[in-house]
Amino acid sequence: MTDTTALAAAETDNGLVRAAVGGDMHAFEAIYRRHAGRIHGVIQRLVGGQGVRADDLTQEAFVRAWQALPQFRFESAFSTWLHRLAVNTALMELRSRRAQPLFDEDEDRLDDLGMADSAGHHTALSLDLERAVATLPPRARAVLVLYDVEGWKHEEIAGELGMAVGSSKAQLHRARQLLRERLGVEA
């Protein structure tokens, strides 16, 4: 995206946010349409291959955004604020799962998941990677996505996930190692 395009998108977002705060439901609908794909994508990567749950969490993130919209201070890009809200929604889901048995034991799901045919299909590698990421244990998957995809620092990840910085680094190492094994890649 060029600087001019990014500036125009930010100005449009800001105008839509102002209108939505004023009660304009069509403006909030436009915000939703503009950002839903990206928000759904990050949530799905964080919670794993559970499409229906990712759909529910995407809706929950937008409900929270609607509720918190009056507190948005325009100090950062709206898309950044919304993205962070969505990540926090997914992380709350992961924390709630932590209390359930087998939080880190769902590696067995890989046995039930067939890898995509990679015989020449241009999307096969990305499908293989997405599926392999979805089968990672939840904490390892969260650290991998937040660090490698979202660009968070280990200190931020540790704070959000309630772990030590060293644990975040260890989980990232574990996730990368499991991905290499699952994708059949030499270290």
- Domains recognised in the chain with CATH numbers: 1-100 (1.10.1740.10), 112-187 (1.10.10.10)
Q: Cβ–Cβ contacts within 10 Å for residue 87, how many?
A: 21
Round the average pLDDT of the chain to a whole number and report it.
81
pLDDT band for position 106 (cuts 50, 70, 90): very low
pLDDT at 126 over 50: yes
> 1 CB contacts (<8 Å, ≥6 apart)?
9
114-121: average pLDDT: 40
Range list of H helices, the chain: 3-21, 25-47, 51-68, 78-98, 124-134, 138-144, 154-161, 165-183
Q: What are the residues whose beta carbons fall under 8 Å from the beta carbon of 3, sequence distance 6 or more?
A: none
- pLDDT (tens digit per residue) in 134-166: 888 888 999 999 998 888 999 989 988 889 999
Tell me the pTM: 0.69
The CA-atom distances, in angstroms, between 116 and each of 107, 121, 131, 145, 180 are 18, 9, 9, 21, 16
Closest listed residue to residue 85, CA positions, set 164, 24, 9, 31: 31
- Count Cα neighbours of 161 within 13 Å in the Cβ-side half-sphere: 30
